[in-house]
Amino acid sequence: MGAHCNGDVSLPSIHSFASSQDFRFSKHIHDNVHGNIYLDPLFLKFMDTEQFQRLRDLKQLGLAHMVYPGAVHSRFEHSLGVYWLAGEAIHKLKTHQGFELGIDCFDIRTVKLAGLLHDIGHGPYSHLFEREFLPRVHGGCKWSHEQMSVKMVDYIVDEHHIDIDSETIKRVKEMIVASCGTSQAKSSREKHFLYDIVANGRNGIDVDKFDYIVRDCRACGLGCNVEFQRIMESMRVLGDEICYRYKDYLTIYKLFATRADLYRTVYTHAKVKAIDLMVVDALVKANDSLEISSYIDDPAQYWKLDDTIIKTIETSSGQELRESRDLILRIRRRDLYQFCNEYAVPRDKLENFKDVTVQDIVCSQKNGAILREEDVVVDNVKIDLTRGKHNPLESVRFFQDYESDQKFSISDDRISHLLPTSYQDMIVRVYSKKPELVGAISEAFENFQVRTYGIKAQVHATPEKKIRGR
C-alpha cells in the first residue's frame, strides 16, 4: 500500500482502500452512485469554500427536472464522483504500470484535484448559460466554462490562502482544459496520458462521462448498462496514450451510444428544450436590469451566480422585469412554447447543412403576413457520438492483449456490421410562442422543407388541439 502523498492516499481499488486505509484525517461522503467517497485535507480545503459549495445550486441537467422530476442532482455530487473516479483510474494505471510510467504522488494529487474542480466554472442551468444565453447578449464572446474554471481555481487559492504549490495548480488547470485543444492544455508534454483521465480531448473517453452518464440515467429512471469499471480495469498506457483492450470495443461503443441516447431522450427532449428556450428569453430580457452577463468577467462576482437567478426574477416587483417574470410564470403554469413540428435533415444534406433560422420559416408562409419573427422559435439540434459525423472508435487506440506493446486503430471492416453507418443526426424543430399560431407555423415549416429539399419531408402531424390553440 502506498504512503500518504501530500493530502492524497494510494488506493488500488475502492474496496482495498476502504478496508485498510487510516481515515483519521479523511472525511467520507456517501454517494448514491459510487458509495463512500473519501476526501483528505487538501481536497477538503477546496470543497469547504463558498465557491465550491455553489455547485449545490447548479442542477446537473439544467431544466430537465421539469420533465424528469428525479433529475434534481447537482454539479456538486457530479464533481465528487469525477474526483473519485479520477483517483480510481490513476491508481489502476499505477497498479498495473506504475514503475514504467513513473506515476508519483504529484500525478495522483493533480489528477484527483482536476476531477474535483473541473466544473467549478459552470454557469446557471447547465450548458444553457454558455451555449444559448451568452451568444444572445455577447455576440462574438469566446467564453467557456472550462476557462472560467481555470480562473476560479486561481481565485479560490488566493481568496482562501490555500497552501499549495504553483506547479500543482498549473497542472490542474491544464487538465481542466485538456479537452478544449488550447495551448494551455498542451504546455506540459511529459506524461500526456494523465490529461486523458478527466477531460479527454483525444477520443472523449474520460471519467467525466463515466460519472454523468451513469448518474443522469439513474436520476431520469433510464436503464444504463455502461460498464465503466470494465473499461478502467482494461486500460493500459502505450506510447504515452491510454489504450484499451480490443475485445472491449463494443463496451466502449456502448458508452458513446448511451450518451447519444441521453441527448435524444433527455438533454434535447422537445419539452425540455421548450422550457430552455423560455428561460433563455427570460434571462435575455432581464439582462439589462440584472447585468447577468457582466458576472463572467470577474470570478469574485461570478461565483454568486447560480440557478436561483430564476427565483430572483420571479419574486421581483420591478416593472423592468415584468416580461421575464411573465415567462417564468408561464413555465410554472405549464403554458409553454408549443412544439409544432420537426424533421431530421437527410443524410446526404448533412455535409453542407446550414442552421435553419426564424426568417426561413416566416418567409415560407403563403397566406399573408400572419407570422412575425418574434412569434417563432427554431431549434437546430445536433446529436452525435462525440466525434461529429465520424465513428468515435476511429480515435481510440487498442491493444490485442496484455502481453502486447503495440497499439492500433480499428478499421471499419473489423467492426461489427450491426453498428450504424452514420454517426450524427441533425434535427430541426420549430416552436410557437403563441398557441393560436401553431397551425400557421407548422404549415410554413412544411413549406420550407418543400422549398429546401424539393419534396415534403416526413414530419409529425400537428395535433388538432394545438392547431385550435387548446
pTM tops 0.85: yes
Cell numbers at residue 318, please?
Answer: 420591478
3-state secondary structure 178-233: HHHCCCCCCCCCCCHHHHHCCCCCCCCCCHHHHHHHHHHHHHCCCCCCCCHHHHHH
User: How, if at all, do strands 241-245 and 398-399 pair?
Assistant: parallel
Rounded distance, CA 196 to CA 213, Å? 18
CATH 3.30.70.2760 domain range(s) in the chain: 338-385+423-470
Question: Which top CATH class is 14-270?
Answer: mainly alpha
CATH 1.10.3210.10 segments of the chain? 14-270
Cα 124 to chain centroid distance, Å, stands at 13
Of the candidates 78, 7, 87, the residue with the CA atom closest to the CA atom of residue 44: 7
Tens digit of pLDDT for each residue in 101-114? 999 999 999 999 99
How far apart, in whole angstroms, are the C-alpha atoms of residue 187 and residue 415?
A: 35
User: Cβ distance 214 to 224 under 8 Å?
Assistant: yes
Write out the H or E segment, with its range, that includes residue 86.
Answer: helix 75-101
Q: According to CATH, what is the number of the domain 338-385+423-470?
A: 3.30.70.2760
In order along its 470 residues, the chain shows pLDDT tens digits of 344 454 444 333 444 444 334 556 689 999 999 999 999 999 999 999 999 999 999 999 999 999 999 999 999 999 999 999 999 999 999 999 988 999 999 999 999 999 999 999 999 998 999 999 999 998 777 899 999 999 999 999 999 999 999 999 999 999 999 877 544 445 555 899 999 999 998 999 999 999 999 999 999 999 888 999 999 999 999 999 999 999 999 999 899 989 999 999 999 999 999 999 999 999 999 999 999 999 999 999 999 999 999 999 999 999 999 999 999 999 999 999 999 999 888 888 888 889 999 999 999 998 777 899 999 999 999 987 766 667 788 899 999 998 888 999 987 666 665 566 667 888 999 999 999 999 999 999 999 988 887 766 555 655 555 544 44
Query: Which residues are annotated as catalytic?
Result: 145
pLDDT digits (tens, 9 = 90+) for 214-273: 999 999 999 888 999 999 999 999 999 999 999 999 999 899 989 999 999 999 999 999
